[in-house]
Amino acid sequence: MPYKDPEKKAEYMRNYQQENREKINEINRDSRKRTNRKEKDRERYLSDPEYRDKVLEKNRQQSKKHRDRNRENLNRRRREQRQKMIEHLGGKCVGCGCEENLQFDHIDRKQKQSNVSSLLGYSDERVLVEVNKCQLLCEQCHQYKTTINHDMNKLAEGYKVSKVDKVGDKVIVTLEPSAPFAGETH
């Protein structure tokens, strides 16, 4: 509105209302209609159990739809983030080079704060803090490493798997010392 002078402003308003009377009336009518309908719906909701059940059921369906959609979105985000983290770590098992059934293995268990999978859905920055302590191992190689850790604990702790070979029925897991972690204080 272009007027700072209250007189002129009032005059402008009067003129506007006169010129747009039809439009203003129509807006008010619609608004009254909506209010009336809401009141009627409310009365019916309170007095008609069948109608109430229908409304409640519809609300339930609606919230279920939203819940399902939210869950789908979250699952998709987790899947995509997991894939991104796998690529960040080279995309294949450091033991045998395969690209299937990959798992995040904490190189040094002492550094582990949580499972990568339980962090998925948080910000990339937060997930990366944990992912950067990990190497990718396929399910099989992960099992080999876990066996070694349990058998000769101290030897394998904090070591990276550099290779897993199968010779006959023997499994040879080659380990290498991992670089010290950034921010490590001791």
Residues in contact with Zn ion by CB under 5 A are 93, 95-96, 138, 141
Contact 131, 89 (CB under 8 A): yes
Q: For Zn ion, which is the closer residue by CB, 11 or 176?
A: 176
E strands within the chain?
Answer: 102-106, 134-138, 159-167, 170-177
Backbone dihedral region of 121: left (phi > 0), alpha (psi from -120 to 50 degrees) or beta? left
Q: Which is nearer to Zn ion, 96 or 129 (CB)?
A: 96
β-partners of residue 155 are: none
Distance CA 72, CA 102 (A): 23
Least Å distance between CB 105 and Zn ion? 10
**Min. distance of Cβ 90 from Zn ion in angstroms?**
12
Min separation Cβ 138 and Zn ion, Å: 3
Q: Whole-number minimum distance, CB 144 to Zn ion, in Å?
A: 8
Do 88 and 128 meet the contact criterion of CB atoms below 8 Å apart? yes
| Cβ-based neighbours of 177, under 8 Å, separated by 6 or more | 158, 159, 160
Q: Which is nearer to Zn ion, 55 or 96 (CB)?
A: 96
Shortest distance, position 157 Cβ to Zn ion, whole Å: 20
Compute CA 116 distance to the chain's CA centroid, rounded to the nearest angstrom. Answer: 13
Nearer to Zn ion, 85 or 141 (CB): 141
Nearer to Zn ion, 96 or 120 (CB): 96
Kind of pairing between the strands at 170-177 and 134-138? unpaired
